[in-house]
A and B are shown apart, each in its own frame.
Chain A
Amino acid sequence: MLKTISIYLSENPTLRYWIVRPEWVAVILLIISIISSIQLSPFFADLAFIMDSATPYVEYGLIAIILTLIIISGEIDLSIASMIALTAVIFGTAYNAGFGMPISMLIALFSGTLCGLFNGILVTQLQIPSIILTIGTLTLYRGIAQSLASDFSLGGYPSWFIGIDYRYIGIVPIPVIIFTVFAVVVGFFLSSTIYGKQLYLIGTNPQTAKYSGIKVNRIKLLLFTLSGLVCGIAGVLTTSRLAVARFNMATGAELEIVLMVMLGGTYIFGGRGNIFGTFVAFWIVVILRAGLNVARIKIESQLTILGAMLIIAIILTNYIYSKSQK
């Protein structure tokens, strides 16, 4: 039975292209988690509850979408969580130093961009493997944030700025709208533009990409810079949500962000994956976290489940890709 299916699929590349894809695992997982969480608590049948649960994760989701692009092109950025904290702290410092709100925001975004650019330059020019380099800048950026803010909470923002997560359009919180729009735009970019296609080509075979005239290094540099910029945006959003900026915010967030990308079926070695998968994985993480909270499992103990999921997601994705093409 299985054999007939696999033979049939191998004779129909288009059909196989649509069926043997790891993001279906994510979709199935999402359905399972929705059903089981509704069993757990009737809250989960309420769309508004799920929407509200999603807001704290939107910042991670935004970055997960950019990280998807980076991993598809064969690199990785682990300094993301530190960049959130650093840009948030810079934002808070700038605002408290008397710069107006718009200028402070610009400074935050600019500093994020700079951090990303720094990562990108070291990766493309010095050829330091990104996975190792960003472990270093992870420490560096978090350290700079700590040097700037010490153990203080930088607050005192105008009330219009605080609590973006409590603004809604209909039942949908504004951050969730931002996330969804961003996912659709980047998803469209990745699937329908020539630049998106080139990311896949770079991740599949950087050598061939270079020989095909694709500007591999420039594109990678751009992606790392973009990652910094989006972390800057996430930093400002987080500050709005929490009303304060601290050096230790988003500690350990790289786990959840990488998990969203991996769970969405993006291939850790590059060349494959898509935004749809990451988008679905975002909701899995949201519902899982909410479900564990409702089940009164301590936030810290949830780490075990997230960590195990990351490892299983990678192994499973690798397995599916190894099956879908010999």
Chain B
Amino acid sequence: MDLKTNNIGKTFSGVNVLRNVDFDLKPGEVHALVGENGAGKSTFVKILSGVYTPTEGDIFLDDKKVNITSPIIAQKNGVSLIHQEPQSFSHLSVAENIFMGHMEGNNFSRVKWQDINKKSNAILQSIGLKIDPKKIMEGLSIADQQMIEIAGALSKNSKVLIMDEPTSPLTPNEVGKLFDIVNKLKSNGMAIIFISHRLEEIRQISDRVTIFRDGDLITTKNINEVSNEEIIKFMIGRNIEETEVKENQFIKNDEYILNVKNLSLSKKFNDISFNLKKGEILGFAGLVGAGRTEVAKSIFGAEKFDKGEIIYDGESIINNSPNEAINNGFAYVPEDRKQMGIFGPVAVEDNITSAIPKDISNSMGLINSKTVTTLTNDYINKFNIILTSGRQLIEELSGGNQQKCIISKWLLSKPKVLILDEPTRGVDVGVKSEMYEIINKLAEEGTAIILISSELPEILSLSHRIIVMREGKITKILNNKEATQEKIMSYAIN
């Protein structure tokens, strides 16, 4: 089936995340979508698969205009999305997982077991998968679950298959198997959209590649006509200006505050070793899923680790809980602001003082509300947080101001090691530069900072050193002088 889009755009509460996307997909083609996190490729495929409805523009299937308003309608039109984390029913059989939602007959019809088992078997065989369709889903590997989801799409006679980073949870061996299947489907005339961060895979499997950046479709190229370096350049942007690199003078001291040795957690990260000086900003670059957040959580005591050692201020320590970590002088600004960063329907001042219970209460536990207000107002003024009063609910503030509140909260706990996980995500440009000033100033005052960020310019301009991670391992540690966006990207991807 031919798929074309004309001028597709999407706006979320006033923010334009996708603009003027003209895209086309031919039957028998594997079309890769690449772009940095937040470039718009996920939003785009969600529009195609009916999860979002576009704010503007049209979708055409075989030159017929279609209105895709829900996943069900998308599926009925032959467009299926394969989720990165398979959406399966673990208590039901493989055949049921394939046919759930579109079994023959009405509610009280008998399920035609033989029929669906036979059909499932045929589909599974056609993609070269040896699984008994009567087997219960529970206990199957992610790879198998993914294949079964593909089988489900085939059972609905899908003509367009969208695969959102299907390879990221798979082992190399499983990736090979998946690619065999993709090639088979392709030769049968299936049109496939394939999202991946791994350029080698894209080179191996796809015919054309489309690059997204900041909500725009930058270009579409035949894969043979474009080099990896060129793709990376398109992803980052034409004008890679020389970002200002800071001098490393004031951390000439050799006071190591943190020394992480061979930290490992099974299936998350492996053999992570690095050290951190007082006043140093250590950037962590890499793609989503590279394991950076998991490392941070393990250091902060929110998750365990299997092996390794953390030496802090000359002593080997283990933070068994965030509570211990905070008492030891650690602080963590989490990536997922809504789920782990803020108490949404709670006043700003209670949010800001939530990590320092002892500082705002006396020995009896009585809260000194004057202290709460003073401390809050200090930071409201210092960071120029825009709100009506400290009693306003934090969820009513803009993302940037929320983030300033969270950073205030952690600065109040006077951390020696501050971990920032995507601190400027969803923050507008003005606040961003304010945030950079804050971060630099903290480092100058001697706070050691771990900065996890997916925005390369941010990492480059702030960090003294940059650790690049890929699939749970450190692939390179770069000094800021030698680091460039291209270098980081190539270590993060290959």
Check A-B contact in the complex, CB < 8 A.
yes
**Using a CB–CB distance below 8 Å, which chain A residues touch chain B?**
11-14, 17, 192-195, 197-198, 200-201, 204-205, 207-215, 271-272, 325
Bitwise interface map of B from 235 to 274 toward A, beta carbon under 8 Å scored 1, else 0: 0000000000000000000000000000000000000000
Flag whether B354 is at the interface (Cβ < 8 A): yes
Which residues of B (316-346) have their CB < 8 Å from a CB of A? Answer: 321-323, 325-327, 332, 334, 339-346
Residue B96 lies at the interface, judged by CB distance under 8 Å to chain A: no
Contact A210 B367 (CB under 8 A): no
| Pairs across A and B, CB under 8 Å, 29 listed | A11-B388, A13-B388, A13-B393, A13-B396, A192-B366, A193-B364, A193-B365, A194-B360, A194-B366, A194-B367, A197-B350, A197-B367, A201-B346, A204-B346, A205-B340, A207-B339, A208-B340, A208-B343, A209-B343, A211-B322, A211-B332, A211-B340, A211-B341, A212-B326, A212-B355, A213-B327, A214-B354, A271-B343, A325-B395
Contact A208 B342 (CB under 8 A): yes
What range describes how many residues of B lie at the interface?
35 or more
B395 partner residues in chain A, CB cutoff 8 A: 325
Complex CA–CA separation, A247 to B326 (angstroms): 48
* Residues in chain A near residue B346, CB distance under 8 A: 200-201, 204, 271
Tell whether B357 is near chain A: CB-to-CB under 8 Å: yes
Which chain A positions have C-beta within 8 A of B327? Answer: 213
- Of chain B, the residue at the smallest CB distance from A217 is B321
Are A211 and B334 touching (Cβ within 8 A)? yes
Residue from B327, B357, B392 with most neighbouring chain A CB atoms (10 Å) = B357
Cα-based distance from A164 to B346 in the complex (angstroms) = 42
Roughly how many angstroms separate A193 CA and B358 CA in the complex, as a whole number? 11
Query: Which residues of B are in contact with A by a Cβ distance under 8 Å?
Result: 300, 302, 321-323, 325-327, 332, 334, 339-346, 350, 354-355, 357, 360-361, 364-367, 388-389, 391-393, 395-396, 409
> Is there contact, CB below 8 Å, between B355 and A213?
yes
Give the contacting residue for A201; candidates B322, B354, B360; CB below 8 A.
B354
Instruction: Kindly state the separation between the CA atoms of A197 and B358 in the bound complex, as whole angstroms.
Output: 12
Question: Are the CB atoms of A194 and B365 closer together than 8 Å?
Answer: yes
Residue of A nearest to B334 (CB): A211
Which listed residue, B326, B341, B366, touches A193 by the CB 8 Å rule? B366
Say how far A10's CB is from chain B's closest CB, in angstroms: 9
User: How far, in angstroms, from A234 to B266 measured CA to CA in the complex?
Assistant: 50
The interface residues of chain A, by DSSP majority, are classed as: helix
Choose among A193, A195, A215 the residue with the greatest number of B CB atoms under 10 Å from its CB.
A193
Cβ–Cβ contact B350 & A207, under 8 A: no
- B242, chain A: closest CB distance, angstroms: 37
Contact B322 A210 (CB under 8 A): yes
Q: Which residues of B contact A212 (CB under 8 A)?
A: 322, 326, 354-355, 409
A193 B367 Cβ-Cβ under 8 A: yes
Other-chain residue from A193, A208, A325 in contact with B339 (beta carbon distance below 8 A): A208
Q: Separation in Å of the A173 CB from the closest CB of chain B?
A: 31
Instruction: Report whether B340 and A272 are in contact in the complex, using a CB–CB cutoff of 8 Å.
Output: no
CB-CB < 8 A to A17: which residues of B? 391
Known: A197-B350, A198-B357. A205 touches B342 (CB 8 A): yes
Once bound together, how far apart are the Cα atoms of A232 and B494, in whole Å?
65
* CB within 8 Å for A210 and B345 given contacts A197-B350, A215-B323: no
Q: Within the assembled complex, what's the spacing in Å between the Cα atoms of A204 and B347?
A: 12
> Complex: how many Å from CA A272 to CA B322?
25
The residue that A325 contacts in the complex, of B322, B334, B365, B393, with Cβ under 8 A, is B393
Closest CB in chain A relative to B468 CB, distance in Å: 26
Q: Which residues of A contact B360 (CB under 8 A)?
A: 194
Q: Which A residues touch B365, using CB under 8 A?
A: 193-195
User: Once the chains are docked, how many angstroms separate the CA of A46 from the CA of B26?
Assistant: 85
